[in-house]
């Protein structure tokens, strides 16, 4: 077996050599016997396989065996026409089938060839063609089902790859079988032609060259030709049958023999009906003994099946009923109903083509990219995104849910594009006015004809799948702190532990628990700060956990350690134009901080808070009017509390402390928030 590949290669070369170079008659007998044995082996393997892919090399074997039979046909034809003999195997087959009568033997041979060519081979060829077509047509649907299971979390990446590989192999196999079945058809045709050539040429040679009379020549060469044809066509018939078995096997649970017994002999009522019909035939003048015997056999089968069914029913049904009742009584029976998917995307039937790969939809691929993007930008593990079609929605409408709660609604127009003016283009384009769902910007739906014009003018043009993917990405980012659970934190920490075990062992559980680390990470994500640099975060927590266990204060320490990354993330223009807070307001906030067991909060008069909010709003509008994104910079000790105050105006405002701004970045104050 070690050098099996070399032996196979040499065997195939030897087959080609046999076609050209004569071999001894003894070797011909051995090879003819081996041909029959190989055909039996292939037939039995085809019968005992449970699925087609277990015999994936079958198309190649068809080619090799066909070439082998043709090589033997050429060799035996050479001996028949040159020496008037072709070995003991062919002579024995000819004598056995012909029974001393050349005409009868030739007719039997023709019947075998016709059965193989018109019935088995032609049927197998058609089934292989249809199987290949349907397998290829079903590939996109199967791929989409795998992607849906993967996104739903029912399977992992490894199983998804295995399923995709199996689908590809099935398509390749049935495609190869469609072509390989032509070899069997061609072999049958070649067998008929070779037989006719042998008889005609043998008769001419026997009469003209060997001096035989007409009857002797016919008898001699017909015997040899029919023997040769049978020796080659019987293996061909066996392999044709194996081809039909392989391509006609559909859903099965076992080998052909097992399925045959189970499915033919499984109903006692059918056995009784057949027994009664055969008994009736025996009284109508037909031979009594055969029909009476078969009637008794089917009656026995019916009684046996009925007895076995009664035993199984008595043993299994009470257990099944009892198990069913017990299952209904169990309180765990309702637990699956309590599961809430972290992220759901529901859409109307009009959006289905975007999720169908066979129609060019790539929504599943975009979901994978969203998870990668969030991992790179925020450092979080986004849970599997479940896709659902919802007939209650408008055809082109979609809903994004976080933990079962509707967070956003959007609508697209199929076969249209969304064009957004970046603010510097005066020329208008024709389209349907709308609002871009992810960022709330004014936009227009345009058709394919307007797309090129919009791109030339400088409009930002996106297709419907990109709109949905961008909207979903922004919702995930905005609510990432809600999606981060203790289990996710455990995975992140385990990932760090592989390379920094000492750090993790020092921090957990001696200084902080998973819940406290989760709160710190959640605070960072809530303000859009990436937690990808987990090593720096955990080292900072290990440094300051001995001073305080207040997660809000620990968050501020972590932010200062991540100052360079925060500066790069939020400050894009240089010098940066920012809004500051007056010393009086900072002092007022510090004086209003109240400490409790549950944490710290601001206790401030509502009128004062309102004046702060009004002042903040004015400064923001002033900065926006200059085309800058508003950023507030405060003293480190009041940053957290000012951020909480600003959330009454907007939750998206960026509030930084002086310690978080990289010293190399120049900032200019364009205004200050005051009381």
Is the pLDDT assigned to residue 333 strictly greater than 70?
Answer: no
Phi, psi of 668, rounded to the nearest 5 degrees: -120, 130
pLDDT band at residue 120 under the 50/70/90 scheme: low
Is the pLDDT assigned to residue 33 strictly greater than 80?
Answer: yes
Q: What is the mean pLDDT of the chain?
A: 79
Cβ burial, residue 336 (10 Å; 0-12/13-18/19+)? exposed
Would you state the pLDDT for residue 539? 92
Mean pLDDT of 313-318: 52
d(CA 18, CA 446): 71
Would you state the pLDDT for residue 550? 85
pLDDT band at residue 278 under the 50/70/90 scheme: confident
Q: Could you read off the pLDDT of 549-576 as tens digits, one per residue?
A: 888 889 999 999 998 898 888 888 778 8
Terminus-to-terminus CA distance in the chain, angstroms? Answer: 89
Would you state the pLDDT for residue 248? 67
Report the DSSP pairing between strands 667-673 and 576-581.
parallel
Angle at 147 between CA 141 and CA 153, to 5 degrees: 140
Mean pLDDT of 23-31: 84
Would you state the pLDDT for residue 90? 76
Is the pLDDT assigned to residue 210 strictly greater than 70?
Answer: no
What six digits make up the tokens of 239? 């392999």
C-beta separation of 121 from 184 below 8 A: yes
Helix (H, G, I), strand (E, B) or coil at 15: helix
pLDDT band at residue 521 under the 50/70/90 scheme: very high
Burial 568-578 (b: 16+ CB within 10 A, else e): eebbeeeebbb
Helix intervals (H) in 115-255: 122-152, 157-208, 214-248
Mean pLDDT of 287-294: 82
Element (H, E) at 401: strand 397-402
Mean pLDDT of 104-113: 72
Helix (H, G, I), strand (E, B) or coil at 417: strand
Q: Could you read off the pLDDT of 663-672 as tens digits, one per residue?
A: 888 888 888 8
What six digits make up the tokens of 261? 């017994």
Q: Name which of 73-87, 326-340, 356-370, 519-533 the model is least confident about.
A: 326-340
User: What DSSP designation does 53 have?
Assistant: G
C-beta separation of 258 from 124 below 8 A: no
What CATH number is given for 362-481 in this structure? 3.40.30.60
Would you state the pLDDT for residue 536? 92
Helix axes 4-20, 58-83, angle to 10 degrees: 30
| E-state strands within 489-561 | none
Taking CA atoms, 25 is separated from 15, 19, 86, 624, in Å, by 16, 14, 7, 99
**Residue of 483, 460, 306, 494 lying closest to 381 (CA atoms):** 483
Is the pLDDT assigned to residue 37 strictly greater than 70?
Answer: yes
Would you state the pLDDT for residue 546? 87
d(CA 255, CA 272): 27
C-beta separation of 395 from 350 below 8 A: yes
Is the pLDDT assigned to residue 132 strictly greater than 60?
Answer: yes
pTM over 0.85? The answer is: no
d(CA 519, CA 553): 11
569 Cα distance to chain centroid: 37
Highest-scoring range by mean pLDDT, 82-86, 204-208, 277-281, 608-612: 608-612
Phi, psi of 464, rounded to the nearest 5 degrees: -55, -45
Highest-scoring range by mean pLDDT, 260-274, 276-290, 645-659: 645-659
Of the CA atoms within 13 Å of residue 336, those in its CB half-sphere come to 2
Is the pLDDT assigned to residue 185 strictly greater than 50?
Answer: yes
Taking CA atoms, 126 is separated from 60, 177, 237, 244, in Å, by 19, 11, 17, 10
Q: Name which of 56-65, 261-270, 456-465, 536-545 the model is least confident about.
A: 261-270
Phi, psi of 195, rounded to the nearest 5 degrees: -60, -45
C-beta separation of 570 from 530 below 8 A: no
More confident residue, 627 or 647: 647
Taking CA atoms, 333 is separated from 240, 320, 326, 337, in Å, by 53, 16, 10, 9
Q: Could you read off the pLDDT of 403-412 as tens digits, one per residue?
A: 888 888 988 8
Cβ atoms < 10 Å from Cβ of 292: 15
Mean pLDDT of 508-530: 89
d(CA 279, CA 275): 6
Q: Could you read off the pLDDT of 212-234 as tens digits, one per residue?
A: 666 677 667 777 777 777 777 77
We find that the CATH architecture of domain 484-561 is Orthogonal Bundle (1.10)
What six digits make up the tokens of 595? 């400490």
d(CA 671, CA 415): 47
**Residue of 670, 666, 570 lying closest to 624 (CA atoms):** 670
d(CA 60, CA 180): 8
pLDDT band at residue 181 under the 50/70/90 scheme: low
Q: Name which of 224-238, 245-259, 454-468, 648-662 the model is least confident about.
A: 245-259
d(CA 593, CA 638): 9
| CA 503, 506, 512, 513 torsion-angle sign | positive
Q: What percent of the chain has pLDDT over 70?
A: 83
Mean pLDDT of 487-515: 88
d(CA 432, CA 444): 5
- State the virtual CA torsion across 190, 192, 197, 199 in degrees, nearest 10: 150
Strands of the sheet containing 631-634, edge to edge, are: 654-657, 631-634, 576-581, 667-673
pLDDT band at residue 317 under the 50/70/90 scheme: very low
More confident residue, 402 or 312: 402
Give residues with Cβ within 8 angstroms of 560, minimum separation 6: 636, 657, 659, 660
Q: Which residue has the tokens 């791929």?
A: 143
Q: Name which of 108-122, 388-402, 448-462, 554-568 the model is least confident about.
A: 108-122
Helix (H, G, I), strand (E, B) or coil at 420: strand
Q: Name which of 52-61, 117-126, 359-368 the model is least confident about.
A: 117-126
C-beta separation of 176 from 199 below 8 A: no
d(CA 38, CA 205): 34
Q: Name which of 176-185, 373-382, 419-428 the model is least confident about.
A: 176-185
What six digits make up the tokens of 154? 């029912």
Mean pLDDT of 94-109: 67
Cβ burial, residue 317 (10 Å; 0-12/13-18/19+)? exposed
540 Cα distance to chain centroid: 42
Taking CA atoms, 555 is separated from 481, 560, 595, in Å, by 13, 9, 17
C-beta separation of 413 from 399 below 8 A: no
Cβ atoms < 10 Å from Cβ of 243: 29
Cβ atoms < 10 Å from Cβ of 593: 15
Paired strand residues for 602: 593
DSSP per residue, 168-190: HHHHHHHHHHHHHHHHHHHHHHH
Mean pLDDT of 311-315: 61
d(CA 221, CA 206): 8
Mean pLDDT of 642-649: 85
Paired strand residues for 388: 346
Among the CATH numbers 3.40.50.12790, 3.40.1480.10, 3.20.20.70, 3.40.33.10, which is that of 574-675?
3.40.50.12790
Cβ atoms < 10 Å from Cβ of 391: 7
More confident residue, 497 or 207: 497
Is the pLDDT assigned to residue 251 strictly greater than 50?
Answer: no
d(CA 202, CA 200): 5
Report the DSSP pairing between strands 599-602 and 593-596.
antiparallel
Would you state the pLDDT for residue 78? 81
């Amino acid at each position: 077996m070690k050098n099996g590949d070399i032996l196979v290669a040499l065997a195939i070369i030897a087959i080609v050599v046999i076609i050209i170079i004569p071999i001894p008659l003894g070797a011909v007998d051995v090879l003819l016997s081996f041909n029959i044995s190989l055909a039996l082996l292939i037939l039995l393997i085809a019968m005992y396989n449970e699925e087609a892919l277990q015999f994936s090399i079958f198309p190649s074997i068809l080619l090799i065996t066909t070439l082998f039979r043709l090589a033997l046909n050429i060799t035996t034809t050479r001996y028949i026409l040159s020496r008037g003999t072709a070995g003991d195997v062919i002579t024995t087959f000819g004598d056995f089938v012909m029974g001393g009568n050349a005409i009868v033997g030739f007719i039997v041979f023709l019947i075998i060839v016709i059965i193989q060519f018109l019935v088995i081979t032609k049927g197998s060829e058609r089934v292989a063609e249809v199987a290949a077509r349907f397998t290829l047509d079903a590939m996109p649907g199967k791929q989409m089902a795998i992607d849906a299971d993967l996104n739903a979390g029912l399977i992992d990446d490894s199983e998804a790859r295995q399923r995709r590989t199996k689908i590809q192999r099935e398509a390749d196999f049935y495609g190869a079988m469609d072509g390989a079945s032509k070899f069997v058809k061609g072999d049958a045709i070649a067998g008929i032609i070779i037989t006719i050539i042998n008889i005609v040429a043998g008769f001419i040679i026997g009469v003209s060259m060997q001096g035989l009379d007409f009857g002797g020549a016919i008898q001699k060469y017909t015997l040899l030709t029919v023997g040769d044809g049978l020796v080659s066509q019987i293996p061909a018939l066996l392999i044709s049958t194996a081809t039909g078995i392989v391509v006609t096997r559909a859903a099965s649970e076992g080998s052909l023999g097992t399925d045959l017994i189970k499915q033919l002999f499984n109903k006692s009522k059918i056995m009784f009906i057949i027994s009664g019909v055969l008994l009736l035939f025996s009284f109508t003048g037909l031979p009594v003994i055969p029909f009476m015997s078969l009637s008794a056999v089917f009656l026995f089968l019916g009684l046996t099946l009925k007895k076995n069914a009664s035993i199984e029913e008595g043993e299994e049904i009470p257990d099944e009923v009892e198990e069913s009742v017990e299952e209904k009584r169990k309180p765990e029976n309702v637990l699956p109903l309590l599961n809430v998917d972290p992220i759901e995307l529901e859409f109307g039937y009009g959006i289905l083509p975007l999720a169908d790969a066979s129609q060019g939809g790539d929504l599943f691929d975009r979901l994978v990219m969203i998870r990668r993007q969030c991992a790179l930008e925020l450092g979080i593990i986004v849970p599997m995104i479940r896709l659902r079609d919802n007939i209650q929605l408008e055809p082109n409408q979609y809903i994004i849910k976080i933990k079962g709660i509707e967070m956003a609604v959007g609508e697209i127009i199929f076969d249209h594009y969304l064009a957004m003016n970046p603010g510097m283009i005066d020329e208008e384009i024709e389209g349907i006015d709308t609002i871009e769902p992810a960022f709330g910007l004014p936009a227009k739906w345009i058709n394919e004809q307007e797309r090129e014009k919009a791109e030339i003018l400088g409009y930002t043009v996106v297709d419907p799948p990109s709109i949905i993917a961008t909207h979903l990405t922004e919702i995930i980012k905005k609510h990432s702190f809600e999606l981060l659970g203790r289990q996710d934190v455990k995975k992140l920490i385990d990932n760090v532990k592989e390379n920094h075990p000492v750090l993790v062992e020092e921090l957990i559980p001696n200084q902080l628990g998973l819940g406290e680390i989760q709160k710190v990470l959640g605070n960072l994500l809530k303000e859009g700060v990436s937690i990808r640099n987990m090593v720096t975060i955990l080292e900072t927590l290990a440094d300051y956990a001995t001073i305080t266990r207040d997660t809000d204060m620990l968050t501020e320490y972590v932010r200062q350690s991540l100052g360079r990354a925060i500066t790069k993330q939020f400050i894009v223009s240089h010098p940066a134009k920012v809004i500051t807070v007056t010393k009086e307001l900072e002092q007022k906030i510090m004086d209003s901080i109240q400490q409790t067991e549950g944490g710290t909060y601001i206790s401030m008069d509502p009128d004062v808070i309102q004046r702060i909010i009004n002042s903040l709003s004015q400064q923001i509008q002033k900065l926006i009017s200059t085309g800058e994104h508003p950023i507030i910079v405060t003293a480190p000790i009041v940053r957290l509390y000012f951020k909480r105050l600003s959330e009454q105006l907007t939750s998206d405002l960026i509030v930084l402390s002086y310690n978080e701004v990289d010293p190399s970045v120049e900032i200019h104050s364009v205004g200050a928030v005051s009381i």
